[in-house]
Structure 1
Amino acid sequence: MFLHKIKSGESGILTYGITPPKEGTDLEKITQIAEKTVARLLPLDIDALIVYDVQDESARTSEERPFPFLNALDPFYFASEFLQQIQTPKIIYRPAGKFSEGELSEWLDKLHQHQFYPVFVGVPAPDYPVKTTLPQAYKLWNRYSQTSAIGAVTIPERHEKLKDEDIRILDKANHGVSYFISQCIFNLDYAKNVVNDLHATCVKEKRKIPTIIFTLTACGSAKTLHFLEWLGIHVPEELKIELRQSENILEKSVNSCLEIAEKLAIFCAERSIPFGFNIESVAIRKEEIEASIYMVNRIAGMLSEMGIRKEILTPESAIQ
């Protein structure tokens, strides 16, 4: 279903994003984490599960990282070995520049065998020695273009600064990329500006508009808010103050995300732009994980009420 929706430009796609357990976690603990993940995700009405590749971005800024960086397990290994019960398609992130063409080619073969889909991301720092460029990586993937779909990342904050995100998106679309997953959205105007400029460029050049999947995440503490900003995510000053002064910062952030989702859905639907949402859950606190599940269900319901999304029949719902 995910592949069909991407290739047909259908709106209302829903994905859920996670990170693998930390490197060095013993096998029994990894299995326990996987079992809990499976139990949470099986009942969800989602089109794909995203498994992120965790990178150390400390070299990108001189500001101290709010949380210590810990390497994580390889996302393909975690998804293929421990999440087999989840039949939903998997989207696996990988920084192409860290690997040789031979290594990437072998990785793409394995992904295709499992019917997983790749998203190539950039290297963690501008001066990182690149082994394979993104155009080279896309060329390697191209042999699977008929039976797969490849995604990329879009960053609204970069567009606000450089005003060229629409050109970057279409350049990657020229290499076969058909959907773009955003960095976490807290600034509604930034997200709208990217979409608006992309729409205008596509209309002008008479081009098909690729699918934009907006990432939303709950923020459960002031320290998490600081970390989001450290990552380069722009939180409007008014919202930042509201979050810090709120008696329940998690609840406030969830409500803000749901409001952003509704406004973006209306904005894209009015312009016939194919879109979807990715609910990111990278926290370990139970409350934040539960909040992410709540957001998936609320957004799925909203899209259904708008006539944009049809419910996916999961094994659990079929039993009920």
Structure 2
Amino acid sequence: MFLEKIKSGESGVLLYGITPPKAGTTPERVTEIAQKTMERLATLDIDALVVYDVQDESARTAEERPFPFINALDPLVFASGYLDTLTIPKIIYRPAGKFSTIELSDWLERLHEQNFYPVFVGVPAPDFPVKTSLPEAYKIWSKHQDTSVIGAVTIPERHKVLKDEDVRMLDKMNCGVSYFISQCVFNLDYAKQVIEDLALRCNRQAIKSPTIIFTITACGSVKTLHFMEWLGIHVPDELKEELEKSDDILEKSVNICLDIAKELTTYCMERSIPFGFNIESVAIRKAEIEASIYLANEIGQILKDKGVRKSSEGKAFEVTNG
């Protein structure tokens, strides 16, 4: 189970990440989308489902957003109200700073009742008025620490600039965080540097490392590639050129993603860093969704072949009749 794997620092964790349908979608259509999602997920051997909180990050940069921002349904409402028959743990993202301590406490109670797990993220822009700091949010969550785990986000691109991601991670670990989900990885060197520096710092302090779960995302078009870059994901020039010149950018990106997953698996195992992968599916095109399912199965097999993930008897979970 996800909870036990994180608490014990077991490698080979496999997650699948989705965004809720856009706000304003009719309940009937949301139900239809949820049913299709659950049917796809029922074929996968994964430990938990990540449901993102979609934020407008336009204030973070002066560059024009490649795709228009569309508000999405609240991830907790979507997961609890529409994916409730999916018998698998759910991880819900939440920008803690947007809410008061009372609102956050109430939200955590609702989350805990559902046996869901939180990941607190930062606010969408540096000048956004913060109502609750991350340390305060972790303190509010701490009452659930015996029966839950809390995650945070790690950004290899930030480490490249500030060179303190390892310090940030251990500071959050001291607040109760036990695992980190990365921003989508396309720059292997950036991710490796985070691993290396975290391993060195943990060895110096003689402490166990938190689990790092690397997000892997297929890219189906040049416009999606530019959107990833707009979000702050660094794509090395040679990879960008390969993708832009490819006859089939989606197939090319899937192969790149698999190579990245293989290299990160070896790199983490060599340094005894507990790790896993989060396969992201945030596109609406059928081909990209199918590519994410393929990636989840292939990466799961990579982890099994390396001996860090056990082969399961049949499916990891099922859709029950609600």
Normalising TM by the smaller chain, what interval?
Answer: over 0.9
Tell me if 1:247 matches 2:247: yes
For 1:6, the equivalent position in structure 2 comes to 6
- Helix, strand or coil for the counterpart of 1:268? helix
For 1:165, the equivalent position in structure 2 comes to 165
Superposition CA RMSD, Å: 1.1
Task: For 1:281 and 1:317, locate their aligned partners in 2 and report how far apart those are by CA, in whole Å.
Answer: 19
Q: Answer whether contact 1:43 1:314 (CA < 8 A) is retained.
A: no
CA-to-partner distance for each residue in 1:131-173, whole Å, 9 max, x for gaps?
A: 0000000000000000000000000000000000000000000
What residue identity is the alignment partner of 1:41?
Answer: L
Task: For 2:6 and 2:180, locate their aligned partners in 1 and report how far apart those are by CA, in whole Å.
Answer: 10
How far is 1:313 from its partner? Answer: 3.7
For 1:102, the equivalent position in structure 2 comes to 102
What residue identity is the alignment partner of 2:110?
Answer: K
What residue identity is the alignment partner of 1:91?
Answer: I
- Helix, strand or coil for the counterpart of 1:241? helix
CA-to-partner distance for each residue in 1:58-114, whole Å, 9 max, x for gaps?
A: 000000000000000000000000001211100000000000000000000011110
For residues 138-287 of structure 1, the aligned pairs below 5 Å read 138-287=138-287
Task: For 1:317 and 1:108, locate their aligned partners in 2 and report how far apart those are by CA, in whole Å.
Answer: 25
Tell me if 1:309 matches 2:290: no
- Helix, strand or coil for the counterpart of 2:126? coil
Aligned length: 318
Q: Structure 1 residues 316, 140: CA separation in 2 closer, same or farther (over 3 Å shift)?
A: closer
What stretches of structure 1 of length at least 5 have no aligned partner? none
Task: For 2:317 and 2:94, locate their aligned partners in 1 and report how far apart those are by CA, in whole Å.
Answer: 33
Q: Which runs of 4+ in 1 moved over 4 A?
A: 314-318
Q: State the TM-score, normalized to the length of structure 1.
A: 0.98
- Helix, strand or coil for the counterpart of 1:87? coil
- Helix, strand or coil for the counterpart of 1:209? coil
Task: For 1:213 and 1:225, locate their aligned partners in 2 and report how far apart those are by CA, in whole Å.
Answer: 22
Q: Answer whether contact 1:42 1:314 (CA < 8 A) is retained.
A: no
How far is 1:43 from its partner? Answer: 1.5
How far is 1:317 from its partner? Answer: 8.8
CA-to-partner distance for each residue in 1:209-237, whole Å, 9 max, x for gaps?
A: 00000000000000000000000000000
For 2:88, the equivalent position in structure 1 comes to 88
Q: Answer whether contact 2:48 2:91 (CA < 8 A) is retained.
A: yes
What residue identity is the alignment partner of 2:148?
Answer: S
How far is 1:311 from its partner? Answer: 2.5
- Helix, strand or coil for the counterpart of 1:50? strand
For 2:114, the equivalent position in structure 1 comes to 114
- Helix, strand or coil for the counterpart of 1:257? helix
Task: For 2:9 and 2:15, locate their aligned partners in 1 and report how far apart those are by CA, in whole Å.
Answer: 15
What residue identity is the alignment partner of 2:83?
Answer: L
Q: State the TM-score, normalized to the length of structure 2.
A: 0.97
Q: Answer whether contact 2:45 2:315 (CA < 8 A) is retained.
A: no
What residue identity is the alignment partner of 2:45?
Answer: D
Task: For 1:133 and 1:84, locate their aligned partners in 2 and report how far apart those are by CA, in whole Å.
Answer: 30
Task: For 2:88 and 2:246, locate their aligned partners in 1 and report how far apart those are by CA, in whole Å.
Answer: 36
Task: For 1:48 and 1:210, locate their aligned partners in 2 and report how far apart those are by CA, in whole Å.
Answer: 18
Q: Structure 1 residues 232, 79: CA separation in 2 closer, same or farther (over 3 Å shift)?
A: same
- Helix, strand or coil for the counterpart of 1:181? strand
CA-to-partner distance for each residue in 1:38-69, whole Å, 9 max, x for gaps?
A: 00001200000000000000000000000000
Task: For 1:200 and 1:316, locate their aligned partners in 2 and report how far apart those are by CA, in whole Å.
Answer: 35
Task: For 1:117 and 1:107, locate their aligned partners in 2 and report how far apart those are by CA, in whole Å.
Answer: 11
CA-to-partner distance for each residue in 1:252-291, whole Å, 9 max, x for gaps?
A: 0000000000000000011111000000000000000000
